[in-house]
Amino acid sequence: MSLPLIDRASDYMPLARERLDEATWRYLQDGDGTGNEHALSEVRLMPRPLSAVAGGHTRLRLFGQDLAHPFLLAPVAYQRLFHADGEVATAMAAAAQGGQQLISSLASTDIQTIVQAAVEGGGLAPWFQLYWQRDRQRTQRLLRKAVDAGCSAIVFTVDAPVKLATMRLPADIRAVNLEAEAHAAVPVEGGSLVFDGWMVQAPTWDDVAWLRAQTTLPLLIKGVLHPDDAMRALDLGCDGVVVSNHGGRVLEGAALSLAALPRVVARVAGRAPVLFDSGVRGGRDALVAMAHGAAAVLLGRPYIWGLASHGALGVAHVIRLMRDELEMTMALTGCATLADVTAQVLDAGQPL
């Protein structure tokens, strides 16, 4: 399969739209993602011509792993909805591009197969994104499955305590790594479906402390927007946080990720890496997030557009296009390495 002659990752969106049915497309595009996109695109940058940037690069070291670029492939559920090879194709692409992938708890391929595809492709063992499984025993079994499969970090998503499919899945697509669904807590007559039902089985800070004690792997908390929550996670022994509003898919009107990022970074004050998620559509967006203090960014919908249209080749091409755009934006703002990407690349007339 040959790749189309396109210039940027967003050019894959109409190609994906052509190949996906209406229900799958709506599921992929669900959420208030445009708010995050607009926040990133509205930031103005300061060109710095004549800077000596020859020999520059986008390499970084993150949680003991050497990466060729700062684009981490976000945990997207049910990837076999979008392409028959699903998460395996994503793993192969991440490996080929010297990057990293986060396996969703709702992956449609078993964890071990995904990890094997990444490692055999010359890549790093993927990270695993963990959703709370209603109680500690079920959560521990899923965690153990990821650890035994060889995952190299755990990313605990906390902003979606009740995660349900928002579309009817085809018969051959399911979350193959999860146990059969347990019965949800049912409130007594007159009780609240939310407070006496769903939230009875949602995680708390005590569960974060418990989870920290269950693994020696790097543990990140994803879904942090408030600085106090970031600090509490680190105080409980977590190794990093991911600033994210879940692409606007959970709480309507939630704070935008970019608005929250500098406040979290300032509060963390270098104690741990802060990653950024939600709305990244190009390499320029990545530079904007890193100028606001992010160590790396999570990439979601764009790589799924590539997956849907061209499988592993499409995902790899999206990553490469993102990296090329990041390198060009770095060069034009006088940055030879990611360490040079600071608030100095921003138009001084714009507040952080």
Letter string b/e over residues 179-199, b meaning 16 or more CB atoms within 10 A of that residue's CB: eeeeeeeeeeeeeeeeeebbe
183 is catalytic: no
Q: What angle do CA 189, 184, 103 make, to 5 degrees?
A: 155
What radius of gyration, in Å, describes the C-alpha atoms of the chain?
20
CA distances from residue 186 to 191, 324, 345 in whole angstroms, order as listed: 9, 51, 53
Active-site position among 246, 292, 310, 317: 246
Q: Which two tokens stand for residue 198?
A: 């769903």
Per DSSP bridges, beta strands 71-73 and 219-224 are unpaired
Give DSSP secondary structure letters for 17-68. HHHS-HHHHHHHH-S-HHHHHHHHHT--B---TT---TT----EEETTEEES
| Catalytic positions | 246
